[in-house]
Chain A
Amino acid sequence: MNIYLPIAEVSVNAWLVLGLGGGVGMLSGLFGVGGGFLMTPLLIFIGIPPAVAVATGANQIAAASFSGVLSHFRRRTVDLKMGSVMLAGGILGSAAGVQLFAALRAIGQLELAVGLCYVVFLGVVGGLMLVESLQAMRRVRHGTARRRQRHNWMHGLPFKMRFRESNLYISAIPPFAIGALVGVLAAIMGVGGGFIMVPAMIYLLGMATSVVVGTSLFQILFVAAFTTIGHAVANQSVDALLALLLIVGGVLGAQVGARLGPRLKAEQLRVLLALLVLAVCLKLGYDLVRHPGELFVLGTPGR
């Protein structure tokens, strides 16, 4: 069953898109990741224009994080103060990212920039994840735990604030900066940024782990919503119909994944996810360096 997407202006198979949403949703349910970093490249692979894939990806992430935020609020595992500082950074970063996105699109280098960002971030994250999960597998075998660093250079920075739920008294600058970086990435790559934010919150800020996921989801929800509106205004590249298909598939997939997760061996799965991320990274990297069959590309003036 083909469906014509009004903004992307292409006809795609509706089941393929639903399946894509479902597959990525299942992974996110299994691993507790947003999945945006897989969704956007996969959309580009099936022929959605990159500009539409990125903007629509942000819309889908807003929906995917919503139910998560609600359940974390119910369990009181959201540090609202920390979340708000990160959100302020995120809004600023997203606004800058949307402008950068429009500028790159105007000079015809958007595809290249998105591709390069993906190769770098997927490579780093996939590599770290692989190393980390292999170490974790070894740790499970040897039974040693990892210690967290508590004092570092960040404690010398000004604008100190007390974050009670996170059990921290630190400067507001690092969380603001992390939020801003994630905001820029959200706008350019169509990702939530949890894959960067969560490790940064745990290892850099040293937040209490119980509130990390809820707080990052809180930031992601609002940054993704803001990014969607920003792209809709600046680039007119949000496809509501495509987003709807991805959301329905994604939510169902996430529920299946969340129920499947506890029955599977987490550490081995994590290795698989890392390999999947690296595979997407390699494919995108290969597309950047291999000889394109067609040397010329067409575009519309001004966008």
Chain B
Amino acid sequence: MRILLLAVLVALLPPRAPAETVVAGFSQTSVAITTSFSGSEIFIYGAIRREAPPPAGPLDVIVAVTGPSTPVVVRKRERRLGVWVNGPAVQIDAAPSLYAVATTRPFRDLISYTDDMRHRVGLDEVIRLIDAPEWLVDRQAYRDAVVRVRRDQGLYFIDDGGVSLTQDTLFQTRVRLPANLTEGDYRARVFLLRGKAVVDVYETDIAVQKVGIERFIYALAQEEPLLYGIVSVLLALAAGWSAAALFRFFVP
């Protein structure tokens, strides 16, 4: 009985704290999309705390900022009668709206496959295509297309070597958020790796939100589309009329 109790207690006890932990700070944890929004840059810095002498193996840091994951429809263009026509749609079940990763070394060299899968860090783990249609032979081409198109739009990027690590203790990096950002709760994670294995993760949310007039217009358009349409027309008529009246006033 006593042995059983001890076993339960041991099981319930928190696991031993890792030898190394990561502490990180963000220059901002919210991004306001204002009318003049033209992208933003987040400065991410931190330190590695140790209770004991550092273990062996190379030390690495990965900083990953990802946008909300949503389904995406991918179509391949085909030439028909000389014109490029969109082919049938393949639905990618989830792809983040933004994928910004900065590392201390080339990504593939510093994280093991199992840890990549467990923490869903790499692009292959982030973009999921579960139910591919039967006719689809080349699923990878469609997933690659999502990455390629969004990379060209500045939404996906991997900055190999973008994290600078000083004396295996201090690190810092900058993550640039592009101007064509969409709203949502973004996830920012800092991974500490020792010998390709994740030893600690620091995680926080970055809220990206339209504010002010942007917020107002977007919310009205989504929630009260009829009212929004009527207001748009009235606003347009008023603007057109008053601009013409102003012009006539100054230039008779």
B148 interface residue per 8 A CB criterion? yes
- Chain B nearest CB from A231 CB (Å) reads 7
- Chain A nearest CB from B120 CB (Å) reads 21
Check A296 against B77 for contact (C-beta < 8 Å): yes
Task: Report how many residues on chain B are interfacial, defined by Cβ distance under 8 Å.
Answer: 60
Task: State the main secondary structure of chain B at its contact with A.
Answer: helix
CB proximity to B under 8 Å, residues A36-77: 59-60, 62-64, 66-67, 70
A244 interface residue per 8 A CB criterion? yes
Check B86 against A294 for contact (C-beta < 8 Å): no
Q: What string of 1s and 0s marks CB contacts (under 8 Å) between B211-236 and chain A?
A: 00111011001100110111111011
**C-alpha spacing A278/B233, complex, angstroms:** 31
Check A244 against B230 for contact (C-beta < 8 Å): no
- Chain A nearest CB from B227 CB (Å) reads 9
Check B74 against A225 for contact (C-beta < 8 Å): no
Task: Report how many residues on chain A are interfacial, defined by Cβ distance under 8 Å.
Answer: 56
CB proximity to B under 8 Å, residues A223-238: 225, 228-233, 236, 238
A108 interface residue per 8 A CB criterion? yes
Stretch among A2-10, A82-90, A195-203, A208-216 lining the B interface: A2-10
Closest chain A residue to B228, Cβ basis? A232
Check B221 against A238 for contact (C-beta < 8 Å): yes
Closest chain A residue to B231, Cβ basis? A240
B145 interface residue per 8 A CB criterion? yes
**C-alpha spacing A239/B220, complex, angstroms:** 11
B7 interface residue per 8 A CB criterion? no
> Which residues of B sit under 8 angstroms from A59, Cβ to Cβ?
232-233, 236
Check B229 against A11 for contact (C-beta < 8 Å): no
- B148, B233, B239, most chain A CB atoms within 10 A: B233
Check B251 against A238 for contact (C-beta < 8 Å): no
A selection of 6 A-B contacts at a CB cut-off of 8 Å is A108-B73, A231-B229, A240-B232, A259-B251, A298-B72, A298-B149
Binding site for A on B (CB under 8 A): 33-39, 70-77, 82-86, 89, 91, 141-142, 145-146, 148-150, 152, 179-180, 182, 210, 213-215, 217-218, 221-222, 225-226, 228-233, 235-237, 239-241, 243-244, 247-248, 251
Shortest 8 CB-CB contacts between residues of A and residues of B: A232-B229, A63-B240, A296-B145, A229-B229, A11-B179, A63-B236, A251-B243, A299-B73
